[in-house]
Amino acid sequence: MKNIIVSEVDRLHTLNEKLAENQLSKIEDTIGDTHKFKKRGNEEQFKQNNKVLVKLQEAESSVAGPSMNNDRLILEENIQARVTDSEIAERSKLYDLSGRMAQFLLASESDNTSKLFFNGFRRWENFIRAQGHESIPAQPVHVALYITHLLDSGATYSSVNLAVYSIKWAHNLRGATDPTENAFVKNLREARPQKRRKDPVSSEMLIKLCEIFEDSNDLLVIRDLCMILICFQVFYAMTNSVL
């Protein structure tokens, strides 16, 4: 009975982690890109949204704390193994410095950046392990296929960049060969199609719209047309005043 309960709790924890990752990914895609604003109020709202995103990422990182600590231990073990391979004697000054070296490497990025990269790497790890392959050291072609998956899923340019930098970050910390230096990966980073901007509403469009309903006696149609024309006039005046 105890085993059944533990198994069910683990299953629910895994489902919650996947749900959190999906929701964060959607938020990143929405507000992760660089934008320019004409109105200060919109810019302030955008900054506030980014702060909310950072807090959500911090919350997810807190849930993933044990995994990040495990990653830190792996880094320390990797450094100690390399120090030992270089024929440095234990209890020597150089050997004692290996622990500090791991701390400095982990502190090479700000806490928020490290958490962001760690979560980005976890998404890659979950994806590639589900396909039966290792996340570190990663094969360049596997990373390229992962980027292809992101592009097919409609990921933004910033989300693709985050995935690449997260994989690079994790490999660099462990002293593994960086798979993101592969030509396939580099070219795919630039393959993100640019979003086509919607054409602005012109006065000619509004004239045609009014002509379509010029014989209408429906009050709702007339009301909507009036609202459209008034809004167009207001935004037109605001744009001209800014310019």
pLDDT of the residue at 29: 54
- Is a pLDDT exceeding 90 seen at residue 167? yes
Write out the residue range of the structural domain in which residue 93 sits.
68-108
Is residue 196 in some structural domain? no
- Cis peptide bond prior to 66, omega within 30° of 0: no
Q: Do 158 and 231 lie in a common domain?
A: no
- Is a pLDDT exceeding 60 seen at residue 83? yes
Is residue 195 in some structural domain? no
Q: Do 132 and 81 lie in a common domain?
A: no
Q: Do 40 and 123 lie in a common domain?
A: yes
Q: For the chain, how many structural domains are there in total?
A: 3
- What is the residue-averaged pLDDT of the chain? 73
pLDDT of the residue at 63: 46
Q: Do 139 and 126 lie in a common domain?
A: yes
Domain CATH number, residue 152: 1.10.150.130
Q: Do 47 and 76 lie in a common domain?
A: no
Is residue 135 in some structural domain? yes
The helices-and-strands tally (H runs, E runs) of the chain is 10, 0
Q: Do 154 and 131 lie in a common domain?
A: yes
Structure tokens at 203: 């006065």
Structure tokens at 85: 């391979």
